[in-house]
Amino acid sequence: MRASHLAVVFPVKGLPRNTVHACGALWTRTSRMLLPGLGRFYDRFHPAAQPWGVDIPTPLSVVLGRDDPSLFLRLYFRARKFRESSIDFHVGAAIAETGFEKLKKVGDVLICPVTLNGTNKCLEGHIFWHAAIAQGEILPDCGIYYAEYKRSIVEPGLEKCIESAPADYALCMVTLEHGEDRHGI
């Protein structure tokens, strides 16, 4: 079984002040968000005790920025780095499957025309990943998910805001497990 980690970002506004109650509320919200992907994108999920090698000593692996801003930021930056690595992987693999010679530049945009006719499952898997991320799906290797915005990718200004005010946010750290490669990837 393969596993990957996910940091779900929540604003703390409206959460109980009691840390244990706040952690329980965020795990409940996270579980409800993950249930639609169960069986489709991952087979199991549970609180991540040690995502990316970082110990989380809090209930249900929820890190409140107000309680531990250093741990919050360490995990937040690792989650974003993981997301960027996943994007690079899927872009690179899609281009490699298509062929670098097909890349065309139109203004500042690179375009790579492809035909999705069922003959290249690997290419389709990478294209599917990008389309799913754009639609706000929670995928095993997206690394981070902003619950309030229902997206893995948000404006850089919001990311900077979270970095500068960790006390206003919380992370629910999750391990997603899947038994087999999906979508040809």
Contact 76, 171 (CB under 8 A): yes
Report yes or no on 101 lying in a domain.
no
Task: Tell me, yes or no, whether 65 lies in a domain.
Answer: yes
Beta strands 2-11 and 144-146: pairing type? parallel
Closest CA to 65 of 76, 81, 79: 76
Domain-located, residue 128: no
- Eight-class DSSP state of 139: -
pLDDT digits (tens, 9 = 90+) for 149-185: 999 999 999 999 999 999 999 999 999 998 765 444 4
Residue 90 within a domain: no
pLDDT tens readout for residues 12-68: 999 999 999 999 999 999 999 999 999 999 999 999 989 999 999 998 999 999 999
Q: Which pLDDT does position 126 carry in this prediction?
A: 87
What does the alpha-carbon distance between residue 26 and residue 170 come to, in Å, rounded to a whole number? 8
pTM score, whole prediction: 0.87
| Domain encompassing residue 28 | 2-85+139-177
Q: Answer yes or no: is 111 within a domain.
A: no
pLDDT in tens, 85-118: 998 998 888 888 887 777 788 898 878 777 778 8
Q: How far is CA 123 from CA 99, 143, 182, in A?
A: 11, 21, 12
Tell me 3's DSSP state.
E
**Whose CA is closest to 172, among 22, 18, 37?**
22
Q: Is 170 helix (H, G, I), strand (E, B) or coil?
A: strand
Contact 47, 27 (CB under 8 A): yes
Tell me how far CA of residue 131 lies from CA of 53, 66, 98, 135, 156, in angstroms: 30, 35, 17, 6, 20
Between CA 23 and CA 172 the distance in angstroms is: 8
Are the beta carbons of 3 and 42 closer than 8 angstroms? no
> Is residue 70 domain-resident?
yes
Q: How many domains does the chain have?
A: 1
- Collapsing DSSP to helix, strand or coil, 49 comes out as coil
Under 8 Å between Cβ of 61 and 30:
no
